[in-house]
Amino acid sequence: MAEHPIYSIVMEMENAKSIDWNEIGLGLKSLAREIAAVSATGFARPKVVVSHGGPDSDGSLLQASIEAEAPELMQVADLTITSCPDGRYYELKNNGVLLTEGDIVVFLDSDTVPQPRWLSNLLQPFQQPQTVCVNGHTYLSYDDFFSRTFALIWFFPMARGDERFASKRAINANNVAFRRHWIVSHPFPAHTASRCPARC
């Protein structure tokens, strides 16, 4: 079997002072679970790069908050905080890529909650050297009236019953992985984008 490629994860975050930790915490804990699961199969400890839109001085607050909210993440990954003051969604992602290591860069939004086997399913196709990009399936959480209404009108497909082929779906920048050399030379276009809590 081929050696597992080394990967990094880029996670964008808003200004450290405006984060809803009740929302973000579940995603961080789920991410730690997913990293632990793939590490148990032989993948090396990854680097998690958190790219935030606040000033450099917010980095220590963000680091401390992440460590307090999800200490299990510190046990399975190396955390790096980078600032992109007033950066927008795609700018934060592009900023994070610059600090990644290894052959694969995985993108995950800070308000996204990875589901079981998400990371292994995203990384597995990279065992084939010709694979450049793997796009995951993202859907909105809908557990109350507002979120159900939003899920019906948003561009993400439903969690179940969507049989469209992946080739016909748009790439979700909150649940996608690229070969690092490719995404470095083809960064995301920097323009405004909306976001919402999602699962992948």
In the chain, the domains with their CATH numbers are 7-137+170-199 (3.90.550.10)
> 160 or 134: whose pLDDT is higher?
134
Assess contact for 98 and 84: CB atoms under 8 A.
no
Q: Report the alpha-carbon angle 193-198-199, nearest 5.
A: 140
Name the strand (E) or helix (H) holding 61.
helix 59-69
pTM above 0.85, yes or no: no
Asked if pLDDT for residue 123 goes beyond 50, the answer is yes
How confident is the prediction for the chain on average, in pLDDT?
83
pLDDT for position 200: 41
Helices H / strands E in the chain, number of each: 7, 9
pLDDT for position 17: 65
* Strands across the sheet containing 133-135: 78-83, 47-52, 7-13, 104-109, 175-179, 133-135
Q: What is the mean pLDDT of residues 22-39?
A: 92
